[in-house]
Amino acid sequence: MIDEEGKQVGIVNTNEALRRAEEHNLDLVEIAPQAVPPVCKIINYGKFVYDQQKKEKLQKKNQHVTVLKEIRLHPNTDTHDFEFKLRHAIGFLEDGNKVKVSVFFKGREMAYKEHGQHLLERFIERLEEYAKLEQNIKSEGRTMHAIVSPKKTKKKQK
């Protein structure tokens, strides 16, 4: 048994432990039931539960979930559209999200995959200041894509 001050008392009868807990208006809580003999502690159980919830809440608050955003392009994407999508990608990266840049090929565009490759390379080159390449350019079926992740995980102020 461990007393209310955190000092180890030793092996104590259950009735004796309950009596000591009641004397101090505290609870007898079984900390390690699998131990031989089981370990019990005299504490304020309500405060203990409150502190546990507070710790869990703080851990959830401090954890950051990374989201994968996708930017879709075509080999014949115009300059203005390219710049517009580039600004969106920069915004996503500044928010701390990863960005998957994909080029989709339709019909005869499949014969000119190098156009899509150059477009992706240009896009990644323009993002160099904000991101690092996480996954190289990869071609799968009618799509070609690459994944970039933010250099800084600092979120922008809202």
Residue 111 has pLDDT above 90, yes or no: no
pLDDT in tens, 75-86: 888 899 999 999
Query: pLDDT grade, residue 158 (50/70/90)?
Result: very low
Cα-based distances in Å from 62 to 56, 57, 102, 154: 10, 9, 31, 13
Q: How large a percentage of the chain has pLDDT more than 90?
A: 36
The model's pTM is 0.58
Q: Look up residue 15 and give its amino acid.
A: N
Question: Which pLDDT value is given to residue 83?
Answer: 93
Please say if the pLDDT value at position 96 is more than 80: yes
Q: 119 pLDDT exceeds 80?
A: yes
Phi and psi torsions of 138, nearest 5°: -135, 135
* 14-60 homologous superfamily: Translation initiation factor 3 (IF-3), N-terminal domain (3.10.20.80)
Q: 104 pairs with which residues across the strands?
A: 143
Average pLDDT, the chain: 88
Domain range summary for the chain, segments of one domain joined by +: 14-60, 68-150
Query: Taking residues 134-158, what's their average pLDDT?
Result: 80
Determine what percent of the chain is predicted with pLDDT higher than 70: 96
Bond from prior residue into 37 cis (ω within 30 degrees of 0): yes
Into which CATH architecture does domain 68-150 fall? 2-Layer Sandwich (3.30)
Per-residue pLDDT at 157 = 47
Tokens of 25: 């208006």
Task: Give residue-wise pLDDT tens across range 36-68.
Answer: 888 999 999 999 899 999 999 988 888 777 889
Residue 117, token pair as written in the block: 């490759």
